[in-house]
Structure 1
């Protein structure tokens, strides 16, 4: 037997016996009370076969319900993916509409600014030109010249 197999066999024996080896030199392993494993009554092969057959029949009876649940889970996952894609497209649409609204607000402000500037310029020009278009100035009322 090789050294590796001996070490493996020794480790297996320690694991089976349930005792821990000391990690450090000089350390004693903890003492555990010796408890005998509970003895199970001997089961006859025919009884074991019948029990396994009953378990198999119960599992076969559960199979359609499990398949239906798996189908529903797949349908829900597909619907979830579709809804996530729809959310993403609607979010992109909302972002586009927000950008468009901001552009319209900026355009509206610019239009009001230009309109106000045009009114101001027209008023200024009329204020300068209209006095020149009038006739002679009257020096006074009541006949005193």
Structure 2
């Protein structure tokens, strides 16, 4: 995968995460609302960084879709927490690809984003995975 393709994929994942956190924010309990808001803002910031990175690589940043399919219906705070963990796992996966596809400062930035997503996933889930970003890989 080229650096541009991996960066576009990470941008698409961030678009989806921002959308997903909109759903999380609408269903999350008050005790975790600040955490959801912080994650939402972190993904918005990463999205902006990736838009610039795509342009720097000579590409046109992919636009966000009007809506995204969620992996399951979210009807309560427990479902919102589960969705937040899934969103972070998905983002970690694309950042894992971006780490492999880049080098230098771009690789360090991708690794930092992977770490942030993995830490947020652990906080949401209450447990970790052995290799963040690689959990669904064969």
- What TM-score do the two structures reach when normalised by structure 2? 0.21
Q: Higher relative contact order at CA 8 Å, sep ≥6: structure 1 or structure 2?
A: 2
- What TM-score do the two structures reach when normalised by structure 1? 0.20
Indicate the structure (1 or 2) with the bigger Cα radius of gyration. 1
